[in-house]
Amino acid sequence: MTQPDPTPDGRQALLAFLTTHDGDAGCGPTREVLDLYAEEILAGLDPAVRFPGVAIHLRDCHPCADDLAGLLALA
Ligand SMILES: [Zn+2]
């Protein structure tokens, strides 16, 4: 299973960024609930239970994950 990847890294990253995965909430919905998501983390809860699509999205979307990190840093 070692195939050379003909795609340059930049393009690969862009494709990964643009590709939505099953259940991925997407940037818009994620940002709408990001403060609630952060509150659940701060309360010691697992926000993935309430916002599974957001949890999936945050794994792949660095801008949104950065925003979440910013919210948590401010708390
Ligand atoms: Zn996003």
Per-residue pLDDT tens over the stretch 28-70: 999 999 999 999 999 999 999 999 999 999 999 999 999 999 9
Say if pTM beats, i.e. exceeds, 0.75. no
| Centroid of ligand 1 to alpha carbon of 54 (angstroms) | 9
**Helix pair angle (62-74, 27-42), 10° resolution:** 30
Q: If you average pLDDT over residues 9-32, what whole number do you get?
A: 77
For the chain, give the secondary structure using H, E and C.
CCCCCCCCHHHHHHHHHHCCCCCCCCHHHHHHHHHHHHHHHHCCCCHHHHCHHHHHHHHHCHHHHHHHHHHHHHC
Q: Are 57 and 27 in contact (CB under 8 A)?
A: yes
What pLDDT is stored for residue 22 in this prediction? 73
| Centroid of ligand 1 to alpha carbon of 65 (angstroms) | 7
